[in-house]
Structure 1
Amino acid sequence: MINDEDDCYFFKMVQDTFEHRVEPAYDRDGETAFKRLSEISTEVPDLLFLDWNMPKWTGKQCLIAIRRLPGYSEIPIIIYTTSREMKDKDDALRLGASYFLSKPASINQLYNELGYIFSLDWKMHELH
C-alpha cells in the first residue's frame, strides 16, 4: 500500500521491467489500506509493500494490525519509506517487517533495490 500517487507511478514503472507482477495499490491513508486488506474478498498477496508515513494510521499501526490478520502473519512485508532513521527501521523490523527500504533517490536505484527484493526466496530469507 503506497500512500503517494507519484511514488506509486514510479514504483509501477520500474517493477514492470521485472518478471514479478506487483500490483501497487494506492490508498489515501493507512486506515483505508488496512480496511481493504481485511476484506474477505481480498486475496492475500505474496509480498506486501507498506508505506511507513501515512495519514490517519501510520505504517507502524498498519503493520501491527496487518500482522494480526488471518493469512498475513508470514507474508513478507517490505516497508517503503522516505525515512532513513535507524529508529524507524528498528521499530519496523521489531514489529514484523521483513525488509526496510528507504525510497531511493533515482529510478536506477529503485530498479536495483526491487531487483534485489524480487530475487529473494522469501521462504528462506529474513533480511533486515
Structure 2
Amino acid sequence: MKNEHNRSIFLADDDADDCMLFEDALREVCTKTELTTANDGVELIHLMETAVPPPPDVIFLDLNMPRRNGFECLELIKNNLAWKDIPVIIFSTTGQEEMVKRVYETGANYFIRKPGSFPKLKQAIRQVLDTDWSQHTWSLSPENFQYLY
C-alpha cells in the first residue's frame, strides 16, 4: 500500500477509547483513509459480509472482544476464499507467547501489542500502512511479529 492512495481500514475493538485513539493516530499518519470500526467480532463479520467487495486494505483485530473474539474472527477471515488474502493485524494488549503463536498458526499477518504511547501507536500504524502486503515475502513466524509498548 502506498500512502498517497485512498485505502479502507477495518478496526475491530470493543474499547471505545482505544478506537478513538487509533482513529486520531491514523488521521495524523495518513489522511486518505476510510476507517470502519466494529465493536465486536459479530459486528466485524457482519461488516465483512455486507461491505465486501471491495475488501478493506487491512484489518486491525483485537483478540479480547465479546460475542465473537479475535481468534474466531481471524479463523473465519482466513478460511473464507473472498477474504483470506486481506492482511490481518492483531492489535491487542496481550503479549503472551502462546497467544502470539496461536494467531500466527491461524494466519495473522502481523502482531502488534497495543503501544503505551501515542507516538508509538502512530509508528505502528505507519509501519503497517507502508508495508506492501502483496510483496511481503518474509516467513510469517512469531519472531517477525512486533511488540510495541
TM-score by length of structure 1 reads 0.88
Q: How does 1:31-110 map to 2 (within 5 A)?
A: 31-39=42-50, 43-110=54-121
Amino acid at match of 2:26: Q
Q: Decide whether aligned partners of structure 1 residues 70 and 38 sit closer, same or farther in structure 2, where only a CA change above 3 A counts.
A: farther
Maintained 8 Å contact 1:79/1:101: yes
Amino acid at match of 1:118: L
Q: 1 or 2, which has the higher strand percentage? A: 2
Displaced runs of 4+ in structure 1, greater than 4 A?
none
Find out whether 1:26 has 2:35 as its counterpart.
no
Q: Give the drift of 1:32.
A: 2.3
1:123 aligned partner: 134
Q: Decide whether aligned partners of structure 1 residues 24 and 11 sit closer, same or farther in structure 2, where only a CA change above 3 A counts.
A: farther
Q: Decide whether aligned partners of structure 1 residues 82 and 102 sit closer, same or farther in structure 2, where only a CA change above 3 A counts.
A: same
Maintained 8 Å contact 2:29/2:122: no
Cα RMSD of the aligned pairs, angstroms, is: 1.8
The unaligned stretches of length 5 or more in structure 1 are none
Q: What is the percent sequence identity of the aligned residues?
A: 28
